[in-house]
Amino acid sequence: MSAKRTVAIVLRQLYLFRGSPARIVPLFGWVAIDVVLWGFITRYLNSFTSSRYNLVPTLLGAVLLWDFFTRVMQGVTMAFFEDVWSRNFLNLFATPLLISEYITGLILSSIWTSIIGLIVMLALSAGVFGLSLVGYGLPMVPFFFLLFLFGIALGVFASAAVLRMGPAAEWLIWPIPAMLSPFAGVFYPLSILPSWMQWIGRALPASYVFEGMRTIIAGGAVPQLDLLIGTSLALLYLALSCWFFSRTYQHVVKTGLIARYSAETLS
């Protein structure tokens, strides 16, 4: 695997942002709106609850973590969609570029785009609403890392699905985070869900993040076992999604379906 070709994928994304500043706004615009909206909602709800219980860490913290997960996933898919929209795949893979190099480039692109969104979220939540997840110390780091792994895995899988089904399948990808959130227990414990939903929730690495976050906020110890299970699931899903993307690419090349992404199909 060539580091130069991997970096070239990342540089392409950087050049796209440099050439079109309008692409930069979505990196922090939507997350800023979510943080502000939920921040004021939690302040309003706090006025009806006991003064001993603060909803800001529970609700706004959950929104912040879920938005981070969404940004990570969309960081991968948006970098992939740029090639879909420009019909650039034949140009890319007419070069010696390997699938592993391409996927790694997508992941690296997601890292820096999601970091921008995370910095904005942390700054807004701390400066406006007094929520500093950094104040919880090192125990929060594994939760962010776990969400990052799961977001990457889901982004690679979603990109492979679009590659297999065609550009129109893009619209099936955007709702995925919203569809997973009821099962992941973002705003409530899994114990209140029906049994069949709890089973699905336990198969999602994100559910271990939010269960653990609520435990830490309540003053409990870091759930080491849950972190281990969640991280193992995330690594498994990441390996499977990369395998799925590679097999999908081989299929679309052998069957000629990759021509759907060629500029010549526009005529």
Q: What is the pLDDT of residues 200-257, one digit of tens each?
A: 999 999 999 988 888 877 777 778 888 899 999 999 999 999 999 999 988 888 887 7
Domain ranges of the chain: 3-266
pLDDT (tens digit, 9 = 90+) per residue, 8-67? Answer: 888 888 888 777 777 777 777 778 888 888 888 888 877 776 656 666 667 888 888 888
- Interval 258-262 mean pLDDT: 71
What are 75-113's pLDDT values in tens digits? 898 888 888 887 777 777 777 888 888 889 888 888 888
Which letter, b or e, does each residue of 92-101 get, where b requires 16 or more Cβ atoms within 10 Å of its Cβ? Answer: bbeeebebeb
Residue % of the chain over a pLDDT of 90: 23
pLDDT tens digit string along 162-193?
A: 888 887 788 888 889 989 999 998 888 898 99
Q: At what angle do helices 61-86 and 140-165 cross, to 10 degrees?
A: 30
Q: Is the pLDDT of residue 197 over 90?
A: yes
